[in-house]
Structure 1
């Protein structure tokens, strides 16, 4: 039987994150399908081999037509296969997320950010009423993944989160492993490289000159592979690895990226760089 999940909610509440989680558990995700095309889409879906579809509908979709009525009609006509999720978070959490990511709210312009959040709640109020509501305030990606998996009765995939950080900004609180890379060659002392970060090709070229860097990555991979295999077999949902250098810009970022690429052959890996822009 086919399954359709509509993902809606407030901007900054985690719709993109949920879409990635759904892709990981086999959903075909479509972002902002115009409401007027829903009927045509359902006809195409009925004759396709795709069983699980997620439609992301947000304030941009609502402004393309009457998205609320279109989704309500979809629910009424296909109630046995359609579920609507509505993601929300507290105003304080949304303000913090927009400040952290420096993204603009879709309704910002003549409205302040606070006013835009309030207006969006008003516009999507009817959508929320027909939905299963998930409050993402204070949730990290792992907890959110478990919540979605539990809701959909899907097996939540084991996740390795790799985080780069700078020791001078403090140790991460939530971690299973801390890997120190401060003994590796430091490109910071090269003026041409100082303002780059570990994802830039010039930094990759710099580290490629030092065999010790690749040796360290391979030994660390073996350690993490053993640990992750055991964690997964014991039923743990995730493992967090924090990789640090002095400022969290060069060595830790480079090593985090390299390890993630190797580990992705066997595990789902999520990478974040905590201090790369500081």
Structure 2
């Protein structure tokens, strides 16, 4: 129990991010946000316990809460109490991890020169090098206490994000990418938000079968017509090979949202069946997938507006 009586089992998983100014704290916070952490930047260390006891903090779908806070030398008056606050957390039995980001002095100087920002410890008019020296002295105890230290001297932003995912969400790389697969009809307009667009109008069209015309790609008869043909089987083999090639690349780059649009003429038959098949394939590969059929249930509403089918979340 904490001093205010909060159950420890209700406490969020806590990561304290610290390190040298210019070493990548902002990029790190973006990475933690992508992993589902509730993030607070430049938090006075004296408020960590209070933040932990907030009840309205967003959580994961499984109810688990994760919190990442940046405590650094920008606020020197509050930062000096960090060690004491960490002792309080230990005394209350609250687990935490400290991630310290570092880089070589010459790299930090180069980054500040390129950004043209003032170093936080150069308020008195000192040089960037003097500010870095002061900051290293101020952060020495925190660096020593850190659970993980990442040297960002030679890291690009995607590489830093990848290291954070490996440290704090091992085996969950794919879950960080939200994939939407949707069908559409070219006659209703090409999609504007898709990252990948696949045109399947070259496949035989069920529309020309009077018995299949009133059905959609969600009906078994249409799915069988579309999917179990030699030309479709050959297409899907090559389409899935392409997905197997590009999807890991999107994950490695830290992409968080990916839209895959599959289009036929009207968005009723072929594109629907193949969007469903593609979504099933990606789910089986471990990706977090939602399905939508943009033009499946087109109907003229008030003012002639198009009403589309809702998305199905996986």
- Shorter-chain TM-score: which interval? 0.5 to 0.7
Distance 1:17 1:126 in 2: 23
CA contact (8 A) 1:7 1:56 kept: yes
Partner of 2:274: none
Partner of 2:173: 156
Partner of 1:104: 118
Matched, 1:133 2:137: no
Pairing partner for 2:80 from 62, 66, 74: 66
Pairing partner for 1:42 from 52, 63, 79: 52
Distance 2:242 2:81 in 1: 43
How far does residue 219 in structure 1 lie from its aligned partner after superposition?
10
Matched, 1:117 2:117: no
Distance 1:151 1:106 in 2: 28
Return 5+ residue gaps in structure 1 as ranges. 160-214, 241-259, 268-278
After TM superposition, the score normalised by the length of structure 1 is: 0.57
Matched, 1:94 2:108: yes
Partner of 1:33: 43
Structure 1 pair 27–231 and aligned structure 2 pair: CA distance change class (3 A): farther
Distance 2:77 2:241 in 1: 48
Partner of 2:97: 83
Tell me the secondary structure at the aligned position of residue 67 of structure 2: strand
Structure 1 pair 151–144 and aligned structure 2 pair: CA distance change class (3 A): same
Distance 1:15 1:82 in 2: 18
Pairing partner for 2:20 from 10, 30, 33: 10
Partner of 2:269: none
CA distances 1:154-193 after superposition (whole Å, capped 9, x unpaired):
423578xxxxxxxxxxxxxxxxxxxxxxxxxxxxxxxxxx
How far does residue 70 in structure 1 lie from its aligned partner after superposition?
3.7
CA RMSD of aligned residues (A): 3.8
Tell me the secondary structure at the aligned position of residue 124 of structure 1: helix
CA distances 1:98-135 after superposition (whole Å, capped 9, x unpaired):
11111111011321000000100001111111102111
CA contact (8 A) 1:68 1:126 kept: no
Larger radius of gyration: 2
After TM superposition, the score normalised by the length of structure 2 is: 0.51
Distance 1:30 1:117 in 2: 24
Partner of 2:67: 53
Partner of 2:220: none
CA contact (8 A) 1:231 1:239 kept: no
Q: Which has the higher contact order (CA 8 A, sep 6+)?
A: 1
Tell me the secondary structure at the aligned position of residue 4 of structure 1: strand
Distance 2:196 2:32 in 1: 27
Structure 1 pair 67–236 and aligned structure 2 pair: CA distance change class (3 A): same
How far does residue 151 in structure 1 lie from its aligned partner after superposition?
1.0
How far does residue 67 in structure 1 lie from its aligned partner after superposition?
3.5
